[in-house]
Amino acid sequence: MAGDGIRALVFDVFGTVVDWRSSVIRELAAVGARLGVTADWGAFADAWRYEGYIGGIGRVNRGEWPFMTADEIHRRKLEELLPEYGLAGLTEEERADLNRVWHRLDPWPDSVPGLWRLKQRFVISTLSNGNVALLVNMAKRAGLPWDCVLGADVLGAFKPRAEAYLAGARLLGLQPGEVMLVAAHKADLRAAQAAGLRTAFVPRPAEAGPNVEVDLAPDPAFDLHAADFLELARLLGG
């Protein structure tokens, strides 16, 4: 069976488990409506995510920035984006709250029922570049039934560095080959595979905005390919 020898499933979170883009756009639009500001909130969300978060992680991984949490990386970019989008008038309290929109992302429809099924047979944990507080608050609000919450602040490194994947296996008391990464992003899966983990590709065609091309094609290099977490549970015999 496809799950033989696997003891834990570890999950990429942003994009794989939760729909960050719709959630962020919705909150930005609400803030804009309150202040009478209209703007391209999709472009704001994309810049926050790709230039801000993904770009910031790259800087940390290249040693250009010291280690900082996802919350701190998000906040840096938010300060840049607010004046560009007519939201310079937000108070400190409003900025801190808006930055926590990343703690309030909605799951994909299959995420919660799929995780409950997978949890019956495997240890399920996040393996995210988010920080633990962000991931715990997100899980609490969305009902994600993690057995363990691992983020970059306890892994000691950001993906795609091999240390992040290896720390995940070590903290779970497992060999890398007993752990399967579930992710919607091939670069994440390739790096996990290089570190010795098993891999399951669950593409999320609705994740990205219209300006981002996403590679959704199955890749035989990965151990499993599933359309969503419920299919993943079926493939794993759950």
Report if residue 140 touches a copy of itself, rule: CB under 8 A.
Answer: yes
**Size of the residue set binding a copy of itself (CB under 8 A):** 20
The DSSP secondary-structure symbol of 19 reads: E
47 neighbors 76 (Cβ within 8 angstroms) = no
Question: Which of positions 168-227 make contact with a copy of itself (CB under 8 A)?
Answer: 171-174
Q: What is the DSSP string of 169-232?
A: HHHTT--GGGEEEEES-HHHHHHHHHTT-EEEE---TTSS-TTS-------TTSSEE-SSHHHH
Report if residue 6 touches a copy of itself, rule: CB under 8 A.
Answer: no
- The residues that bridge with 123 in the sheet, in sequence order, are 8
Pick the binder of a copy of itself from 133, 157, 162, 214 (CB under 8 A): 133
Report if residue 125 touches a copy of itself, rule: CB under 8 A.
Answer: yes
Q: Which residue has the tokens 């994909």?
A: 108
**Sign (positive/negative) of CA torsion 209, 95, 77, 38?**
positive
Pick the binder of a copy of itself from 37, 148, 157, 162 (CB under 8 A): 148
Nearer Cβ to a copy of itself (151/203):
151
Report if residue 71 touches a copy of itself, rule: CB under 8 A.
Answer: yes
Report if residue 112 touches a copy of itself, rule: CB under 8 A.
Answer: no
- Interface ranges with a copy of itself (CB under 8 A): 71, 123, 125, 131-134, 136-137, 139-140, 147-149, 153-154, 171-174
